[in-house]
Each structure stands twice: as C-alpha cells, then as structure tokens.
Structure 1
C-alpha cells in the first residue's frame, strides 16, 4: 500500500531532520537569503511527501482502515512542518523539539501498526 511506504519515508525524514537539529548550529542571521534558499530546496520534497501522505492518511481514516481522528493526521502534518524549520533554524529548546518529534512518531507508528494488521 502506498500509505505504508509514504509513512516509512516520513519516518526516515524525521530521523534525518533530528540529526540536522543535533549537529547543526543556527544560522548567523535568520534573514540570510542563501540559507533560506538552501532550506527551501532541501525541504521541498518533504513538503510534497507531506501533502500526499496527508491526503492518503485522511482517505484511510475516512474509509475506516485506521482508527485515528482526522485532526490527528492534520496536526501531525503541521507538527512536521514546524519540525522541519526548527531543524534548520534551531530556534526552539531541545525539550520542545523532542515533544514535537515524539508526537509525530506516535501517530506514524500507530498508523503503521493499524495498516499492517
């Protein structure tokens, strides 16, 4: 199923972004156009995946393939968008970053568990 592959890829991106958060330093200026362009180019495929994932996940919820609420899917997408920016700009404390990361993993793992039953 396509949603399973997208969810696994989503989890892989989460791991890579967490590495970036842990290893990178914040940019010297948040207005650095070159840095912004690099972030934009790097995250574009992730945004595309998120849009596809959200559509497929909401469809699975609608068809009752998974026992999740549509708002959980939407919130997971929004949290991932926040996490992407925080991974590059490193503008939140580690605790907040981990909370976002954990909430995303929780929904993704639950989704995978229910789809693979």
Structure 2
C-alpha cells in the first residue's frame, strides 16, 4: 500500500475514533475482562495500520525532501495510538483528546502535501 493510502486511511480512522470518543457515554469499567478483550480485538487492525503507516512515513521523510521531521512521524504515531485507546477508555479530558486529534491531522495533512509536491516535481 502507498503512503498516500495509509495516510488517508489513518485520517479516516482517527475521525471515526474522534466521533466514538465524543458520542460514547462513560465511564467504562476498566476492570472488565470482556471489555478488554473487545477493545483488543477491535483495535488490533487499527494498531497494525498505524504501525504500517509509521514505517512508510519514516521511509518517506528520510529519503525525500519533506517538511515533516522524523520525530514528528514518531510523535504522530504515538498520538494516534493514544487516540485509539482513549476513544474506548474515555480516560482523558476532551481538550487533550482534541489536541491529539488536531496534531495528528496536521502532520498527516503535511505528509499528503509533501507527497503531492514530490509527485509534481518528478513529472
């Protein structure tokens, strides 16, 4: 899969998780084994996608002229992990969740912009 596709999928994923966070009534029972298993099952493909995105993004920013720094890729990867988890456990303030969400979108949009610039310059 291309970095563009990974990035677009991550944008959609964090949008869905943001809506989940906003529309789920808490608190959740953090000690529930059934809930833990449900979260583990549902989030496994999300974490896999996030890891695949990070690998592709790190390779892209290291090997091309990009406005995104490798540290931003790592931070965004971590932020998106937190978005995934907090959207289930609802254990963070709304303001903090929104900061994680907006920061992740900012970097994802910068990467998409860099991809487009590189595609245009290679034509």
TM-score (norm. length: structure 1): 0.94
Hey, what's the Cα distance between the residues in 2 that align with 1:104 and 1:8? 12
Hey, what's the Cα distance between the residues in 1 that align with 2:9 and 2:92? 25
Structure whose alpha-carbon radius of gyration is higher: 2
Unaligned runs of 5+ in 2: 118-123
Q: Per-residue displacement from partner, 1:61-113 (whole Å, max 9, x unpaired)?
A: 11124221111000000011111111011111110010000100000001001
Q: Which residue of 2 aligns with 1:110?
A: 110
Runs of 4+ that moved beyond 6 A:
none
Unaligned runs of 5+ in 1: none
Q: Which residue of 1 aligns with 2:67?
A: 67
Matched, 1:16 2:16: yes
TM alignment of 1:1-117, pairs within 5 A: 2-117=2-117
Question: Do 2:3 and 2:57's aligned partners in 1 also have CA atoms closer than 8 Å?
Answer: yes
What is the count of residue pairs matched by the alignment?
117
Hey, what's the Cα distance between the residues in 2 that align with 1:26 and 1:74? 30
Question: Do 2:28 and 2:89's aligned partners in 1 also have CA atoms closer than 8 Å?
Answer: no
Q: Which residue of 1 aligns with 2:121?
A: none
Moved more, 12-21 or 61-70: 61-70
Could you say what secondary structure the match of 1:8 adopts? Answer: helix
